[in-house]
Amino acid sequence: MLLLGLVGCAGASSEPSAASNPSWQEAKARTQAMELEIANLFPQNKVAKVDQGATGLLFNCSDSSVNWKGATTVTLNAGTEPEPLVREVEAKYQDSRFDIETRTAPAGHYEVGLVSPDTAEIYLIAAGWDPYTIRIASGSECFPWPEGEYMGGDF
């Protein structure tokens, strides 16, 4: 989550798109569906389990819009190294609706970012905090939020 907070909405529109004006529930559902799409790319014979967070948090995109941030953790079978699988995801999303950004994180692991060029939608795929895990951290497109409405808590 911290990394998503740092990445924020850089380079993307912080206003809800004209074509889409989702509720927070719709934005969350779309984003979680994409997390699972990514998780399902990993060979099933290398995956022990997939744990999708039931809730996430809202973050400001602008004065009048927010986005939903959540995460899914893929636990790999013992001995399965995450980096080759992360690189496979990168290859599968070449020439997709996402721009691809990569880096070696300060902790030394390889990260792939699938970043919408049009919205704040983003998916960061990298080795998880625990051994033999991959974390898919996500951020939805921005959507309107009523002025004065409380954003705290879990969504």
Contact 32, 71 (CB under 8 A): no
pLDDT at 13: 53
pLDDT in tens, 98-112: 999 999 999 899 999
CA–CA dist 142, 93 (Å, integer) = 22
Kindly list the domain boundaries of the chain, sorted by start residue: 2-8+19-144
CA–CA dist 97, 117 (Å, integer) = 8
17: pLDDT strictly greater than 90: no
pLDDT bracket for residue 148 (50, 70, 90) = confident
CA 15 to chain centre: 18
CA–CA dist 133, 115 (Å, integer) = 22
47: pLDDT strictly greater than 50: yes
User: Of 26-30, 113-117, 139-143, 145-149, which gets the smallest average pLDDT?
Assistant: 145-149
pTM of the model: 0.88
Mean pLDDT of 26-52: 98
pLDDT at 15: 55
pLDDT in tens, 76-94: 999 999 999 999 999 999 9
CATH of domain 2-8+19-144: 3.30.2030
pLDDT in tens, 128-139: 999 999 999 999
Classify residue 49 by its DSSP letter: E
Contact 118, 109 (CB under 8 A): no
pLDDT bracket for residue 14 (50, 70, 90) = low
- Give backbone dihedrals phi and psi of 43, rounded to 5 degrees, phi first: -55, 125
Taking alpha carbons only, the member of 142, 107, 146, 145 closest to residue 3 is 107
